A = this chain, B = another copy of it.
């Protein structure tokens, strides 16, 4: 990718002297900051913007690393063929009129892919805005040169954006607000060749990039994306467009019906430690927060000290801190003593700290903010500080450089919430932005970004290979998974599960009525009796389940009733009735973007209505599985609630790992439901299961 980001020379195919056109904007943007050789290409001109213009790329004499194409779509294939003749390694196609317009455009996109593949060229785009590198001042884009008047603030955050207009709107916003610097901002357009994974891989290695933010409407290679994020060791923030439902899908399994359009994506991102954003500005705020604070606070605690200009601001800050799952720090008595020295006597010092009485007492020359900040940062009970200030009108000493210094010394993040007049906020933000301090005008956003920063765990979380074990099933069962189609019956599904390391309830098929006594003696009461009919997934609703069978008489009665309903079809299954502490649902499905996804949900209709289920992508490490368990909303139920015993999370995690491995080993498994999985006194039992194979 170096030929894109660090080319020795760039050609602009479609360059023009008309300043209203994008082909001119690209040229002027290059002239603004790119120091290498620039070749305008257009057969109609001999020179543009003071540069020699060539009729074709192949006419250029010197070496050429990158060509930017901005001609009408119909002319792109010819231009690209010419690039192939010249042997350009990388071409950025910023023209539109390809797959995004359907029909002819799709065919045209296929054509350029073929041309590029044949010549071994990489294509960026089409239908994109290229990229901007604020550190090296490379603007390889048709964005309006007027926007550059705001200057590019070089920073450590790089962006990958799958929407041309948005990437431009983004940049305008970011540059003009002046609150954050950028490293590289890449608009990836139709992703005909270069996609988010290519760029992500590059940026994860890029020394100029500390944090990567992505706006994506699709994941071209979802599994690889997740693996890159896990291995990367840099914070990644993703905003996914297109979360809303596209009509209900018909789903056979509970697992599939619990998987909304976005649930699997959400699970995959959480599993890879990716921070999920919900909108543009918030994505940028998360990125700049992580660029400042990721890696500070390595002790997994979240105790926040609040220093506020007013009592009201202090109270609301504490409210948000608790709502966001952070803690309002219990400051030490030493800290209280230090703070008390700057406060009037009547003021009881407590966190959140209302600084106003101290500011009033110390006067405009007082140094209240710094004294208070130093005190709370030195406090062992404090992991981070939220500092509220009012810019303008009330003049108070607030030394931003000192805040940075104190924060760095203590290695604890300090986040700022600012209020005041427009102009003074702007100046304050600019100064803070230059220093890398995260400043916010919205309280909740400041707290949300602080939380994401404290949550971030530095370091790679690449999947340990040892955790991935292929279940070696007996040949007979393997053959079924490789040869059969459609819904397997409960008994067969569970035989496979048992072989794959998922404990199933003791049960026997009743082959002959004469075996009833022996089976009963083997299993012991209470029993459940089920009628298995081919293709029937919901047995309870069709009267095919008899529960609470406590004696032989009742067993014979139940058998009679079942046989009547089944009228000679199907099989009778007798199983031990397990007294359950808690019912869970686990399952898996195959997602087109991410592959095998494992689901964990709580049983019961309340959990079902509230869609309390979470997903992760297989293979799962043991840690992944534990984290999946921790993403269930009502997870408190697993830890012993109302006197019930705690569920063994490690054993449950192992089941989930095994389930994922089964799905990976047998690609014809389409969906799999274990519903319920009962947490009993001596472990977990798959009580009912349904395995669905590809047709």
Contact = CB atoms under 8 A, between A and B. Distances in A.
A3 interface: no
Contacts of A323: 243-244
Contact of A606 (B242, B310, B604): B604
Contact of A636 (B147, B609, B633): B609
A168 interface: yes
A469 B605 CA distance: 36
Contacts of A328: 244
Q: How large is the interface on A (under 10, 10 to 19, 20 to 34, 35 or more residues)?
A: 35 or more
Residue of A172, A281, A422, A606 most packed against chain B (CB within 10 A):
A606
A319 B419 contact: no
Interface string A181-201: 000000000000000000000
Contacts of A172: 390, 392-393, 419-421
Given A147-B393, A169-B419, A315 B217 contact: yes
A164 B310 contact: yes
Interface stretch (A100-108, A498-506, A589-597, A647-655): A100-108
Contacts of A103: 346
A322 interface: yes
A150 interface: yes
B310 A163 contact: yes
Contacts of A570: none
A165 interface: yes
Interface stretch (A77-85, A397-405, A438-446, A516-524): A438-446
B606 A607 contact: yes
Contacts of A173: 419-422
Count this chain's copies in the assembly: 2
Contact of A281 (B170, B279, B441): B441
A312 interface: yes
Given A316-B241, A441-B281, A604-B606, A390 B421 contact: no
28 contacts: A101-B344, A103-B346, A105-B346, A143-B393, A144-B393, A150-B421, A165-B356, A166-B313, A169-B390, A172-B421, A173-B419, A176-B392, A176-B422, A241-B312, A243-B319, A244-B322, A279-B443, A279-B444, A282-B444, A422-B426, A541-B643, A602-B606, A604-B606, A606-B610, A606-B634, A606-B637, A608-B641, A609-B637
Interface of A: 100-105, 143-144, 146-147, 150, 161-166, 168-170, 172-173, 175-178, 215, 217, 239, 241-245, 278-282, 309-313, 315-316, 318-323, 328, 344, 346-348, 356, 390, 392-394, 419-423, 426, 441-444, 541, 602, 604-610, 612, 633-634, 636-637, 641-643
